[in-house]
Copies of this chain bind each other. A is one copy, B any other.
Amino acid sequence: MSSSAQKYDVFQAIADPTRREVLKLLAYKELPISEITSHFPMSRTAIAKHLHILSEANLVSGQKVGREKRYHLQPETFQELKDWLSYYDQFWNNKLSMLKYVVENDGEDSRKNKETD
């Protein structure tokens, strides 16, 4: 059930705005491809590709029902992102003072450096 060699991971999957919109749509209820497509200004084929990517990342899953394929979210995979984020929580919590020091002393040269980048 879990394909070992996945080309797209969760991070790549959610990088695209269209795919995030698709996820939002599927949050409410499962939908077939053509129904999803009707919400976007692009071809059905394009949406199908996006769904394929979301599917490879295990963010969604599709089931054939008659002649249509209905896609729904896969909650478990969102956990992957939460885990990734929680790793950094360690630092905000444990090392917060150290970080605050670094951040708040960005005027080492006694002058506020404008972000010219």
Contacts and interface: CB of A to CB of B under 8 A. Distances in A.
Interface of A: 2, 11-12, 14-17, 20, 23-24, 27-30, 52, 55-56, 61-65, 70, 72-75, 78, 81-82, 84-85, 87-88, 90-92, 98-99, 102-103, 106-109, 113, 115, 117
Contact of A103 (B23, B56, B72, B117): B72
Given A72-B99, A103-B72, A88 B78 contact: yes
Copies of this chain in its oligomeric complex: 2
Contacts of A28: 91
Given A11-B20, A107-B70, A75 B99 contact: yes
Q: Is the interface of A mostly helix, strand, loop or mixed?
A: helix
B11 A108 contact: no
20 contacts: A11-B15, A11-B16, A11-B20, A15-B15, A23-B88, A27-B87, A30-B102, A30-B107, A52-B117, A61-B103, A63-B106, A63-B108, A63-B113, A64-B109, A64-B113, A65-B106, A72-B102, A73-B99, A75-B91, A78-B88
